[in-house]
Structure 1
Amino acid sequence: MRRSLPVLVAAVTLAALAPQASAEPRPPELAWGKCPPSLIGVDDPRMVCTTMPVPMDYRNPKGRTIDVVVSKLPTAKPEKRRGVLLHNGGGPGVASLHYPAAYARIYPQEVLDQYDLIGFDPRGVGYSTPVTCGRPLEGYPPDLYFPFPSTDGSIARNIEFGKALARDCELHGGEVRPHITTANTARDMDRIRIALGEKKISYNSGSYGSYLGAVYATMFADRSDRFVIDSNVDPNRAWHDQFALWDPGFELRFPDIAAWFAERHETYKFGATPAEVRKKYEALLAKLDANPIIDPVFGRFDGNVLRIATFGVSYHTIQFPQMAQYWAFADTGVYPPDGLAKDALASAVPTVLTVPADNLRASQLAVLCGDAEAPRDMRHYQREVTIHRKLFPLMAGAGTNVWSCAFGRGPVEPPVKVTSKGPANVLMIQTLRDPATPYIGALGMRHALGQRAKMVSVDSGNHGAFDPSSPSCALRESMRFLATGVLPARDMFCKPDPAPSATGQVSPLLLNR
């Protein structure tokens, strides 16, 4: 995910749409060459890239094609090679072409020896026929794009914003936009498998990537090898009901934040106890709700901007010092002299002329709106927002609020029903207090996969258990499974290791945010 702000899927897919082994298309001729500039700030000179055509609409496989750009970081020991290991950066909408470069720094040698590491920009994203809604980045205010209601709880401004954004996305998205969906990206993954000449693929991803992996493993069960999915979403909550989990999820995460600040009271002065820290944060929100201040770069800084900024950097404990800078600015109107936190609200993506400035948001919305029908009754949203504001006040009801998906065209096909049919080859890893993909959603994924999966839970609040900066049994079991194919005998639980080693690497889910 980009360093702007995070974001973050129950019917069956028509069987005729899922490619069958007996009817596989002829593999295209791939011309491997130099990769384009990295959109995530991580690169590896050993990687090579290629562009392959895929059907825009798989219901019409001989119709218009679009491009999907694929990367490969080959194993240095082909004699030990098992196959290919695909990666996705989450989002949805995250450019994932260069993710092999990031994972190559994390995997142990026994994994690197066995796999060619594969990345790709999903359809509509980055270098893969990117879509746009025709807006500059300023056209996606963070507290409206992530829909925070007004101070009085009204969602009127969210409805207005959502309608206008839906019009722009449909106007500028063209005929490609309705086909930028998770199911079609899974079909593209299978075309990548075919193009690489592989019988099966392995996979490692998290957050939205957990859903993408589960959808592929459902649609192409016999083509899935070893699948690791981290920070899991509930496949039966696409997408409104999944986002509604943000509200209780952040309430569960906040005690970690409060305890961290209380332990550092002498440094930050936000409270000597967790209760005092929460009281201070609530006071800052109330202050900004009543009297917004002006940020020198981003303009109006009100309570909702502080809410989304705090939520955005709650994904990992290493970001808490950045959170302290936001709180200090909210308190005094001045950023601390030891650095500015503003870049968490700004895009850190390099300027690439072939990639629209709003591509992350435009492709994200295409997937969210194309995967499943959103509720259309505005009274439904207002009722839920009102209830959640009382039950989970820290997020002010934003998780249940209306997105632009409630307006405009609906999906072109029903969502994939993730099931337990298939081999037992999925390892789920999950932290207990993940604010972005809360644990209750992961339980939904665990139930859907049934006998196919084992789940490893970690007593942590970070977004991402595949995390070398906070190693645990989840990271070790993931590496063991990828290297050996052996799942844990049963679901597991553990605490993070007591003394993490300083590897300099963090969860790949924090890239491109």
Structure 2
Amino acid sequence: MTRIKQIAALFAASAAVLSVAVPFATASASTAESARPPHLDWTTCEGTDLDPRQECATIEVPMDYADPHGKKITLAFSRIPAENPKTRRGALFMIPGGPGGGSLDQPSDKGQKLPQEVRDTYDLIGFDPRGYGRSTPVSCDFQRGDLARTKLIPWPAPDGTVTESMATARRMSEACARNGGPLMRHISTANEARDLDRIRAALGERTISAWADSYGTYVGAVYNELFPHRTDRFVLDSNGTPDHVRVHRAWFAAFEVGVEDNFPEFARWASRPGNPDRVAGTAAEVRRLFLRLAGRLDREPLPWPGANPEQLNGNVFRQMMLDSLYDPDDYPALARLMLAARKGIVPPAPQAPPIAVLQNAIAGSVATLCNDIAWPRSAAAYEKGVAESRATYPLTAGMPRGATVCAAWPYAPKEPAVRITDRGPSTVLMVQNRRDVATPLSGALELREALGRRAVMVTVNSTGHDAYLANGNACGDGTVSHFLATGQRPTRDSVCDWPAS
């Protein structure tokens, strides 16, 4: 998960995963490694507010890596060269979250937050994943109502049933089968990792470094597994579970824990004396008020012209809570929404991205979510999980175990999901906030265990999603920057308790 907000292992199955996925990757790796780097036609990047140094190029890659001489697709990527050629080490890939997002423009914005010694050391590389943005794009031409956040995020009905969710899954899956084209079947995390290696080869780099966040940490971990000797310095920021059996199902399920980790921080802030957006007198009262308002909006939604859907119902209210917990800077928006809902009014409708952008992002997102693994197709299985989740985690009302579009996906996975192991060079620094709504600490600890000696992890005593140079603290930021600039990591896992930066 990023923005759309921008979503334990069964070891008995691991041998089958490795026997299929690794040879598949090795064949594609050898092809990329043996090919002479193509001539790249660097041009001025399209867009506004871009650093004038940023330049863009494209390459062609196989749509289906099992058919390397078949149909090709285009990958778009960008570069800002290292600022000190004398100290240049290589290329730092900025691997975006999502799925359903790109980093093509990130060298110009997020990349400029990097300290000077890091910008001196690396070419900053952004890219749009296959299916997204200026790479060969996909669209399913969804109905407008199905572009709502509460359709992609699997909120059940107020009574916990998933009948409507299953109907949405069938409708959206049919739209993708009808309108998505053949590329929809070949969008996956493993293929994104293979695409990254083709970009590496096109740049003429023997190895790459990376700064990956959120879903991008899974892409980075998969790249490390498929191309272990092509990795230099990898930062995995805000990490999800590596469960290769459940994959994105486990990431959705993590929201129930993530919200419980984070809502108390909001509740303390929203009950603080002197806060102009104070919601209640105590943190406990804030929680009770939120649950009471959500239940009332389930029964009596408020009209909300211009929004999608055009009403503030209980699930829209919960989704806006979830979105606000990504960043403490968004706490005031949630508090004001609660205060308005208590009065029976609504704030101005949030501005949505252009329809074409939403269509593209959601199509790419669902393709990744659904192609990486096969999801259950039984409504009864989802309703059982929803009931269990609602009983233990009332703030999320069963959503983390609900039925996504993948419950009716028309395609079977092309290959098993890649299992993350401890075999390979020790090139990874994980950075993880203690209180992260989308990728909670519990999932990061699972990835840390899976990577074994390959990784060191820095746990940051901070709140919010995205730790490095965002919602972390000065200690964590300094540790990551030092690693990128020098290659030196802490000798063991550590905790950063310094004040927020």
1:472 Cα deviation after fit: 3.1
State the shift of 1:2 in Å: 7.2
Counterpart code for 1:386: A
Secondary structure of the equivalent of 2:435? Answer: coil
Q: Is the 8 A contact 2:25 2:226 kept in 1?
A: no
CA drift at 1:60: 0.8
1:136–1:358: 8 Å Cα contact kept in structure 2? Answer: no
Q: Give the aligned partner of residue 63 of structure 1.
A: 70
Amino acid at match of 1:394: L
Q: 1:472, 1:495 within 8 Å by CA — same for their partners in 2? A: no
Using the alignment, how far apart are the partners of 1:68 and 1:143 within structure 2? 30
Q: What's 1:129 paired with? A: 136
Equivalent residue number for residue 255 of structure 1: 264
Give the conservation status (yes or no) of the 8 Å contact 2:465–2:471: no
CA distance in 1, matches of 2:301, 2:416: 43
Matched, 1:348 2:353: yes
Q: Aligned partners of 1:20, 1:272: CA distance in 2, in Å?
A: 59
- Are the counterparts in 1 of residues 150 and 316 from structure 2 also a CA contact under 8 Å? yes
8 A contact 1:470–1:497 mirrored in 2: no
Distance in 1 between residues matched to 2:128 and 2:144, nearest whole Å:
20
Q: 1:78 to 1:370 in 2, by over 3 A?
A: same
Poorly superposed stretches of 4+, deviation over 6 Å = none
**Cα deviation digits, residues 213-238 of structure 1 (max 9, x gap):** 00001100000000000110112140
Write out per-residue CA displacement over residues 80-124 of structure 1, whole angstroms, 9 at most, x where no aligned residue. 110000012200110210111123321111111111000000000
Describe the shift of the 1:390–1:7 C-alpha distance in structure 2 as closer, same or farther (beyond 3 A).
farther
Question: Which of 95, 98, 116 is 2:123 aligned to?
Answer: 116
What is the aligned residue count?
A: 485
Of the structure 1 ranges 201-210 and 101-110, higher mean CA displacement relative to structure 2 is found in: 101-110
Residue 359 of structure 1 is matched in structure 2 by: 360
Unpaired stretches in structure 1, ≥5 consecutive residues: 501-513
1:344-423 to structure 2, matched below 5 A, reads 346-348=351-353, 357-407=358-408, 408-423=410-425
1:170 corresponding residue in structure 2: 177
Residues 111 and 34 of structure 1: CA distance in aligned 2, closer, same or farther (over 3 Å): same
CA change 1:404–1:192 in 2 (3 A) is: same
Distance 1:130 1:137, change over 3 A: farther
CA–CA separation in structure 2 for the residues paired with 1:452 and 1:14: 18
Q: Distance in 1 between matches of 2:276 and 2:238?
A: 32
1:470–1:496 CA contact under 8 A, matched in 2: no
CA distance in 2, matches of 1:253, 1:269: 17
What is the rounded CA distance, in whole Å, between the counterparts of 2:447 and 2:336 in structure 1? 36
Q: 1:95 aligns with which of 102, 117, 140?
A: 102
Instruction: Identify which of structures 1 and 2 has the higher relative contact order when contacts are C-alpha pairs closer than 8 Å and 6+ apart.
Output: 1
Task: Provide, for residues 322-363 of structure 1, a one-character-per-residue CA deviation record: whole Å limited to 9, x for no partner.
Answer: 112321232224356xxx4x33xx4335x8xxx654111100
Is the partner of 1:150 in helix, strand or coil? coil
Query: SS in structure 2 opposite 1:117?
Result: strand
Query: Would you say 1:181 and 2:188 are equivalent positions?
Result: yes
Partner of 1:324: 335
Change (3 A) 1:420 1:68: same
Deviates more, 1:318-327 or 1:45-54: 318-327
Q: Could you say what secondary structure the match of 2:467 adopts? A: coil
Match 1:278 to one of 280, 284, 287:
287
Partner in structure 1 of residue 459 of structure 2: 457
**C-alpha deviation, 1:251, in angstroms:** 1.3
CA contact (8 A) 1:132 1:359 kept: yes
Q: Aligned ranges for residues 138-177 of structure 1 at < 5 Å?
A: 138-177=145-184
| Cα distance change on mapping 1:126 and 1:20 into 2, 3 Å | closer
CA root-mean-square deviation: 1.9
Q: Matches of 2:357 and 2:289 in 1, distance apart?
A: 40
Tell me how far 1:312 sits from its aligned partner.
0.8
Q: Is the 8 A contact 2:45 2:54 kept in 1?
A: yes
TM-score, length of structure 1 as denominator length: 0.91
**Residue type of the partner of 1:165?**
M
**What are the equivalent positions in structure 2 for 1:457-476 lying under 5 Å apart?**
457-468=459-470, 470-476=472-478
Partner residue of 1:76 out of 83, 86, 91 = 83
Number of the residue aligned with 2:494:
492
What amino acid maps onto 2:280 in structure 1?
Answer: G
Shift in CA distance, 378/138, structure 1 to aligned 2, threshold 3 Å:
closer
State the SS of the aligned residue for 2:241. coil
Q: Which residue of 1 aligns with 2:429?
A: 427
Using the TM superposition, name which of 321-330 and 59-68 deviates more: 321-330
Residue pair 2:462, 2:472 contacting (<8 A) in 1 also: no
C-alpha distance 159-7 of structure 1, shift in aligned 2 (>3 A): farther
Distance in structure 2 (CA, Å) of the matches to 1:284 and 1:495: 35
Q: Residue type of the partner of 1:6? A: K
Q: Return the alpha-carbon distance in structure 1 between the equivalents of residues 275 and 328 of structure 2.
A: 18
